[in-house]
Amino acid sequence: MKISVFGLGYVGVVTAGCLSDKGHEIIGVDVQSSKIESLNQGQSPIVEPELDLLIQKAHQHALLSATDDSEKAILNSDLSLICVGTPSNDAGGLDLRYVREVSSQIAEVLAQKSSTGVPHYLVYRSTMLPGSTQALVDEYFHELQERNSIEVFFLPEFLRESTAVADFKNPSLSVIGSRDGLPIPDAVSRIIESDSTTPSRVVNWNTAEMIKYACNAFHATKVTFANEMGRLGKHFKIDSRAVMDLLCQDDRLNLSPYYLRPGNPFGGSCLPKDLRALIDSSRRHGLSLPMSENLLISNQVHLDDLIRRIERSGEKEIILLGLSFKNNTDDLRESSMVEVAQFLLGRGYTLRIYDPHLNVARLVGSNKRVLESKMPHLAAVLIEDPRKAIGERGLIVAAQKNLSMGELKDMVTEKHRILDVNGWDELKDLSATYEGFCW
């Protein structure tokens, strides 16, 4: 396939080299003459293991050339990849001037090109915030899409410097975005073929844009967390490398999807208490752990957002499915639903709670103290009969899966609304209006 690659920086050159190695004919486009000259001489303009050999091989087989002539590149290719930089502006925001410039050039050329009945494929590879592809399509390619002259995709890159060629050939994650997450054409699928056994996921544009930022934020979080534990460990004469080695041995909780599910704020007897102790200890010893210190703050912000969504529903009758901090326990300590219930009662809402694991008469110790201090009248709103708890109308805040779908289908009506806090997808099948907390 004939492919034009706009932007011969790090991502563009690696992409051009690797695609040429698969037999594709590549035309690189850039405004810097030094990069163009290097590629046309069979030399890589960047330092990256294995890339020199790929560029030399492509040059020898006439599979790779470079130019500053955008029109020539577009007219002589079936697919265009935009790999130009998206630097930060002075305020820290994203500067899309180069992406916009190339998009404009491509739109102008395609508008004058005679229709062949086959659309030109445009693939954004530059890192952009969610909504960027849609905005660019609306601005530059709306009419071209209307006449089927172009199809647009977003292909996030996950290339690490010094291992980029290996990452391209065998990616740990492969994602491509189409307009509505619909299947991609065979021509486009050819550019994401790899040696990896991990299948490529096709999602919508916004999701494909978001995953790049989510990955990088997660990587930065892991590095920062390890460094904060390192500083704390050093102070206590602990080898924090050994601590991290032990942490990584747990692939059930630590290195797993277990806690990576957006939804309920964290709570319970351990996480909040131990975070406070850790932060207090670090402060008393003159250590600053900014990320750890802000975890409880972020958790409260998340809880506040949940309460605002309940308020915005406009419903005055609220049904909580689950009050304890998680399902299959009666532990009320630091439970986000206790905070929600306390807020709603204080604001005069009609509240009904269904939690089959709670028995007010059997609560003891810390659990009993939580009840006495925050919800002394729990018995009046804790309903044992699920049908009475669900009632005939109101907002159901589904914090736990403590009823079967069969039971809910028999009780929930069109007069109900549902706010799903923990990702219970089957709730969408009920007759009530459904909203996900983080989706």
Task: Report the catalytic residues.
Answer: 270
CA 40 – CA 53 distance, rounded (Å) = 14
CA 146 – CA 123 distance, rounded (Å) = 18
Any residues with CB less than 8 A from the CB of 266 and at least 6 apart, and which? 272, 299, 336
Q: Residue 13: exposed, middle, or buried by beta-carbon count in 10 A (0-12, 13-18, 19+)?
A: buried
Q: At what angle do helices 295-312 and 271-284 cross, to 10 degrees?
A: 140
CA 96 – CA 74 distance, rounded (Å) = 20
Any residues with CB less than 8 A from the CB of 412 and at least 6 apart, and which? 390, 396, 418, 430, 431, 432
- Judged by DSSP in three states, 17 sits in helix
CA 230 – CA 245 distance, rounded (Å) = 12
- Judged by DSSP in three states, 234 sits in helix
145, 116 Cβ separation under 8 angstroms: no
Give all strands (DSSP E) within 88-146, no chain letters.
120-124
Q: Residue 385: phi, psi to the nearest 5?
A: -85, 115
